Structures are given as C-alpha cells and as structure tokens.
Structure 1
Amino acid sequence: MTDTHTTPKPYAFLLLPGFSTLGFSCALDALSLANHHPSKQVFYRWRLLSETGEPVEAYNGVKIATDSALTPLDRGETLVVCAGEHAGKAGSKTLLNWLRREARRGNDFGALSSGTYILALAGLIGGKRVTTHWEYKTALAEMLPDVIMEDTIFSIDGRVFTSAGGAASMDMMLHRLRDDYGADLATWVADQMVYTVPRAHSDAQRMSLQSRPEVRNPKLLLAMQVMENNIEDPLSPEEIGGVVGLSTRQLERLFAKYLSISPKRHYLRIRLEKGRNLLRQTDLTVTNVCIACGFKSLSHFSKNYRAAYGIPPGLEATDGKVLWSDHS
C-alpha cells in the first residue's frame, strides 16, 4: 500500500427520494472500511446531502438523516448522486442548477443506478460513456441518444463515473480506492467485505444467455438473440427459423423442450417487457411505445399488455415524469 499520509479524500453523497439503500451502503462502506485499516490512517471523509437538508426516504421506507442541504462542494470533493425509484421526479430546477454549477468546479462526479438519469437531465454526460441499471438502459438510450450507454457494472470516462447500482457500487468504489491508494488497501477492504473476487468495470450486469443452463443449445441461443435484436420490426417464426437453419415446427419443438413455451409467446414476452420498461421509465406516449415494440395497432398492444400485467398500458405511465422502480 502506498504510504501517503495526506489529507483524507472528501466525498459528498447526494441522496434522492427513493434511492437504493444497497447501492448507497456498498459505496459508503468501502470508504468506511478503508478508514479501519491497521495503519490507522484516515483515507476518506464524507458527508450526506439532500435538496432540503431533511432526512431522505429510500425505496424500502428507511429514512437517512443528511448533514446539510445543497451547499457548495469543497475543492477536490467527489460528488455521488444516489437514486432509485422515481428519479425523474427528483430532478427539480433547483437540484439540476446546483449540479451544473458544481460540475463546473472540475471535481469528479458520478452516480449510482438511476442517478445517471439525473446527471443526464442536468446535461452533464452528453457524449460520455456511462452505465445504469440494466432495466433502464434501453429507456435512457432512447431518450438521450448522445449518451453512450454501456452494458457494464460501472463505467469511468474522465472525471465522470457511473454504476449499475446494487453490489456494483462496491466494485466501482474498490476500483476508485485502488486508484487512490493502491491495490494492497483495495484488497484489504475487499477481504473485510468478504468479497473475494471484485469485478472489473467491463463485466456484464446480467448472466449472459450463453451461461444460462436452459439455453445451452446453440440454435436456441441464436433464435433468442435474433428476437432480442428485432423488437421494433418483429420477424415471423418462418424468418427466425430460416436464420437459425430450422423449420418452424423444429423451432417450436426446440422452445418447448428447453423453455416450455412457444417461440411466438417468448417473442411477445420480450416485446411486452420492453414496453413495460419504456412506460415506467420514460415519458414516451403509449402510442410511441406501441410502435417501439413492434405492434401494428394500439388495441393489439393494449390487449396483450393487459393480459400480461393485469392493467392497461396507460396506467403504467406517470404524469409526464419518469418512473423508476429500482430495487437493486
């Protein structure tokens, strides 16, 4: 470990209503544990902020007290925006203006989970490589085409860092800790967390299709990938079978054997899941979501949506705000 008895590196965690306690705790505990190193050096200090200075309620109902309202950041203080459910509703004019002003100080700044969306609303990550929780990636990419979305557990682009949230916050902070003080301290902290194999930023957020035991068949895997890559303009079963080298009947038998579902039903499920994410996470109209998911008519989309989720698609949309439902 590098012996650098310097002033502790400062952090400010901005808590937004509905934030993920898991992601926040994983990030904060990495810094806290570093300060318990046998060297007795204090490596980090931190404070908690909220827009009003009042306690902030997380998605699970736990309220966390904060140290102050939106005060100016100290020189070299790193800002971390912690969000979760209903992140879009937290993007008030006051908050966004504060973020823009503080970003101009030149400090590092980042986000956990849907906090990436708040940074985007403030116009701070245009052209940057960023990540967010996998449920929100498609929605954010459609709304903000100038943002480079990565399907990774965390991303670092210059002084901007973003995390998918949940346990990925721990991976990101261990990476930053290693850059600050060296691999020995980062390894010691990981051991204290009983986290024996920290992940690299390039690791994917979800288990790949290839790794899932139910889809080890190569033709089934290819068929599923074809479906996921053709949502806005769905292919027919005959066209999918042609790509993978199977007849329609053979394709149906393959899905029945491994997934206990027909290809048509699986394809519909994928498209409806995308529709649900778009409705919950963006302010796109139901008609636009219908088109984005490859449905020919609004009535057909609504009928299938109600059958799958028990409510019409219009009830998933919020009053012009973005609805996030992050329980990571």
Structure 2
Amino acid sequence: MTDTAPAKEYAFLLLPGFSTLGFSCALDALSLANHHPSRREFYRWRLLSEHGHPVEAYNGVKIAVDSALAPLNRNETLIVCAGENAGQSSSKTILSWLRREARRGGDIGALSSGTYILALAGLIGGKRVTTHWEYKTALAEMLPDVIMEDAIFSVDGRIFTSAGGAASMDMMLDRLRADYGSDLATWVADQMIYTAPRAPSNTQRMSLQSRPEVRNPKLLLAMQVMENNIEDPLTPDEIASVVALSTRQLERLFAKYLSISPKRYYLRIRLEKGRNLLRQTDLSVTDVCVACGFKSLSHFSKSYRATYGIPPGLEATDGKVLWSDRA
C-alpha cells in the first residue's frame, strides 16, 4: 500500500455496560499507529451510541460519542463494544441498524459480549466466533448454530470477534499486521510494552497445567474429566477409574493440592455453570438444574443457597440477565 492511500476507517458502537479495558485496548492500537515516525495517518475512527448520548461503561465511566446511529461509509469497519447486560442494551433500533449496515459488505467486529449482539441481529449464524469465557456457556446454550471457539479472538471471513479485555489488543494488532504489515504492528506492540502478542489460538484462561497449585498429572486429568461431564456427572468411583486411581487415592490428591474433596470440587464447578446460566440467559431454574446435572430441583436449590446465599430463583429474578432476546 502506498503512503498516499486513504486512512482506514473504523466506527465503534458503544453499548451500556461495555468494558473500558477492551475498548481502550482496541482504540489505542489504532491511535498509536497514527503516531508512527512516518507521520502517516493510518486510521480514522468515530464513536457511536444509539441516541448520541454519552455511554456508561460497566465501571461507571461515561464516554462521549461523536453521533447517534448513522449510515456507515462504504469501507468503514464496525466494532460493537458490549459487556454486562448486552441483551437489555440491544434495542430493536440497534439490531435493525446492524442488519442494514451489514448489507453493505464491510467488516464487522465485536468485543466481549458484543458477539451476542451480532448473533441477535442474525449476522453470525454458522460462523466461528468467540466471546469472554464467562459468557461462552450462555451463548452456546441459547445459540447452538454459532460455532464457539475457546480463543482470545476469532476471524471468519468479514466477521471478527474478541474475548474482550486485553485480547482486544491482540486482535487489533493482528488487523494492523493484515492492513499494513508486520513492521507497523510490531512498532505499535512495542509502544504498548506488549512484547509477546498472542495468536488467536491462545486460550482465554490460564490452563490448569500453568496454575502453581496444580502439578499432579492425575489430578489435572480428573479435573478435566469433571469439566467435560457437567450435564451428566460421573460418580467419584467412575472418575477414579478413568484416571487409574482408587477412590481413596483421588480424595487424597484433591485434599493435598486443593484442600477440597473431589465431590465438593465437582459440585462447585457445576454450580458455577448454573450461576452463569441464571445470570446470563432466560433459561428457567428447572432448565438450568438439568443443564448442570442435578436430578432434583430441591437438591439444586439447597446447594445453590448454601453456596451463594440466595435461592436460584432470586438469582434469576434479581440478577443481571445478559442474554435477553430482543431480536
């Protein structure tokens, strides 16, 4: 690309509850590119909101925008920035605008739960996408036709999505590299003091093997078996058999490294899934109970209250529902 080529244009759509970290990482990558010693303007951008009013992020910070929803330029790339309460923030006006603007054929991206907004607008069916790990279970439950990847960012044709947070920086550095080459992307990464940009295949959470408190390979395997069998939980004897240990040996491993019994650990991760589904979907308590492998609603409710201090029904009513279908 010649030095006289026009700057690439971006539009950031901010939705209430968006993540300031993810948004800042994405925007600063573009801004720093324009401070390159070549003095070239590589990028231009504008900020949008539904009505043109400042948008409050999840941490209470309010960001002023340039305008309300407006037609995008032909080659303008759109990025939807969302976080908590994404479903409640996605009005019919926003979804209609997204569908209309998508027809122009430009690239469309999303940060964190912005992926769900694109799904509500019908823009990512059958696409490989990612979102923040905390929202992944809910999105997979509500939208089975979307191909969820456990990655920090995903690119599928003109759709690009990020887990949000610092992963937004990795995604934008990848786009800089595609737009202008490795030299500019490396220069921007150095300005960010980000010496090891990650590939999209990197997982979002620290692997079990990397956690200092978990070193035993048999324990790691047992934990992974539990993670993979939430809806149809195995018995302690079955888990011990899979990892070639006796039940008593398995109990000793969990006590030594995690100070918890296998049964309690298994219950904890099942309840964590239940809590995410209650907070982030419109699934009933009964449906969540089944999805987490509880055969009895009373057992689920009793365990939930003992762990979180409130019954699951109250969590579903008073908790912040993320995936509220507004399509």
Counterpart secondary structure, 1:152: coil
* Cα distance change on mapping 1:86 and 1:318 into 2, 3 Å: farther
What is the aligned length?
323
Alignment partner, residue 206 of structure 2: 207
Asked if 1:266 is matched to 2:265, the reply is yes
Task: Determine if the alignment matches structure 1 residue 56 to structure 2 residue 58.
Answer: no
Counterparts of residues 100-249 of structure 1 (less than 5 Å): 100-249=99-248
For 2:313, the aligned partner's letter is G
Distance 1:104 1:318 in 2: 37
Deviation at 1:91, TM superposition (A): 1.4
1:318 deviates by 4.4
In the alignment, structure 1 segments of 5+ residues that lack a partner are none
CA distance in 1, matches of 2:296, 2:93: 41
SS in 2 for 1:13: strand
Once residues 320 and 307 of structure 2 are traced to their aligned partners in structure 1, the CA distance between those partners, rounded to angstroms, is: 24
- Partners of 2:279 and 2:319 within 8 A in 1: no
Partner of 2:92: 93
Residue of structure 2 in register with 1:12 after alignment: 11
Q: Which runs of 5+ in 2 are unaligned?
A: none
Q: Which residue of 1 aligns with 2:278?
A: 279
Change (3 A) 1:264 1:28: same
Preserved CA contact (<8 Å) 2:140 2:148: yes
Paired with 2:263 and 2:287, the residues of 1 have a C-alpha distance of 22
Normalization by structure 1: what TM-score? 0.96
Deviates more, 1:302-311 or 1:158-167: 302-311
Displacement, 1:4?
3.2
User: What residue in structure 2 maps to residue 313 of structure 1?
Assistant: 312
Moved more, 314-323 or 51-60: 314-323
Separation (CA, whole Å) in 2 of partners of 1:198 and 1:308? 38
1:275 is paired with a residue whose SS is: helix
Query: 1:137, CA displacement in angstroms?
Result: 0.8
* Distance apart, 1:299 and its partner CA: 1.0
State the SS of the aligned residue for 1:214: coil
Q: Per-residue displacement from partner, 1:115-169 (whole Å, max 9, x unpaired)?
A: 0000000010000000000011111011111100000000000000000000000
AA aligned opposite 2:241: G
Q: What one-letter code is carried by the residue in structure 1 that aligns with 2:291? A: A
Q: How far apart are 1:208 and its partner, in Å? A: 1.0
Partner of 1:298: 297
For the aligned residues, what is the CA RMSD? 1.3
Matching of residue 254 in structure 1 with residue 253 in structure 2: yes
The whole-number CA distance in structure 1 between the counterparts of 2:290 and 2:296 is 8
| TM-score of the aligned structures, taking structure 2 as reference length | 0.97
Separation of aligned partners in 2, 1:322 and 1:310: 19
SS across alignment from 2:29:
helix
* Pair 126,230 (structure 1): closer, same or farther in 2 beyond 3 Å: same
SS in 2 for 1:156: strand
Q: CA deviation at 1:170?
A: 0.4
Does structure 2 retain, via aligned residues, the 8 Å contact 1:116–1:132?
Answer: yes
Match of 1:135, SS? helix
Q: Which letter maps to 1:112?
A: L
Letter in 2 for 1:234: P
Q: Residue 320 of structure 1: CA displacement?
A: 11
1:30 counterpart letter in structure 2: A
Say if 2:16 is the partner of 1:23: no
SS in 2 for 1:316: helix
